[in-house]
Structure 1
Amino acid sequence: MNAYRTIQETDDSIETLYEIQKSKFITHLRHVDTEEEARAFIQSMKKKYFDARHNCSAYVLGEGADKQKSNDDGEPGGTAGNPILEAIKKNELTNIVVVVTRYFGGIKLGAGGLIRAYSHAAVLGIEAATVLAMTPFQQLDVAVGYDLLATVEHWMRQHEIRSLEADYADNVSLHLLIEPAAIEHVQAELTDLTAGRASITPGDEQLIAIPAS
């Protein structure tokens, strides 16, 4: 299970606007998990902005960012789709689709100008999104008596341990989320902290979304 960066899922796409030399560049982007979702989003933008001269796009998919595609949609080759794709890659994002719609303002920007404009428009859109670091954590189930609960919870706060919702019955079952490399160390600390009275069971790994700094 590998860490990766993506953007937060939203009900609506993120929209930004960039204007240069009377041309308008409208950027839309959203989180997607499949190529079908990416293509459907691109088509929806083309339908929404049917009167625009260009709806250029790029997407990156997979935990390893192994599926990448861009489209210039009528702009000179390499001046639109690839700069959008490069903006995604420079931000180390995956499972994302970006569409930049251009309304031509009558002044030609030239190849270099187009590359800069599409790149900047894509970056503006990415900056408006909430970037998440999908990080592997292993669940560690810790069952303790109520007499030890305050001690363990204090230790968790000190070490900024993430956790899922606890279960309260005859004992308390805490479900900690620990970085896989630290599992053995945490188990040893908890055993010492509770004088061996805690029941500690390692669980499965899962990816947790953490806001990227």
Structure 2
Amino acid sequence: MKILENIITDRGSKYAVSGGKCRSADEAKDFIAQLKRNKKFAKATHNSWGLICDDGPVKNDDGESGAGMVILRMLEREEVHNHIIVVTRWYGGKHLGGDRFRHVQDAVRQYLMAKSE
């Protein structure tokens, strides 16, 4: 599991991104459970994720409507399969509107760059 913390801050909200090898929806649930063993991530407002596995695409917005689809589109574009990416947000008290999607994209981009290094 690779975790990049405190990568984006906007109007009080903070973002992190994490990911790792994952081949199914069941493994994704295990990955999220393992991530949430860290109290900081368990207390996060949203842990949105996407995964393209042999059974097809799987996502979960975790209350951040549309975030899972943003992650899936980026995984498809980069042809990343059997690798989950989770974008975590701690809500800072102010709505971000459409900027939240840009932050999800930026988080995934940072993860993909770090993964390839």
RMSD: 1.7
SS at match of 1:15: strand
- 1:99-178 equivalences under 5 Å are 99-110=86-97, 112-130=98-116
Separation in 2, partners of 1:81, 1:40: 17
Q: Percent identity?
A: 31
- CA contact 1:45–1:55 (8 Å) conserved in 2: no
When normalised by structure 2's length, the TM-score is 0.85
Moved over 3 A (4+): none
The higher radius of gyration belongs to: 1
**Which amino acid letter does the alignment assign opposite residue 58 of structure 2?**
K
Match of 1:89 in 2: 76
Separation in 1, partners of 2:37, 2:57: 23
- CA contact 2:25–2:58 (8 Å) conserved in 1: no
Question: Counting helix residues as a fraction of each chain, which structure ranks higher?
Answer: 2
Q: Name the structure, 1 or 2, with higher relative contact order (CA <8 Å, separation 6+).
A: 2
Q: Flag structure 2 segments of 5+ consecutive residues without an equivalent.
A: none
- Report deviation, 1:102: 0.5
Q: Flag structure 1 segments of 5+ consecutive residues without an equivalent.
A: 1-12, 132-213
- Report deviation, 1:130: 2.7
1:73 aligns with 2:69: no
| Matched residues, number | 113
**Which amino acid letter does the alignment assign opposite residue 26 of structure 1?**
A
When normalised by structure 1's length, the TM-score is 0.49
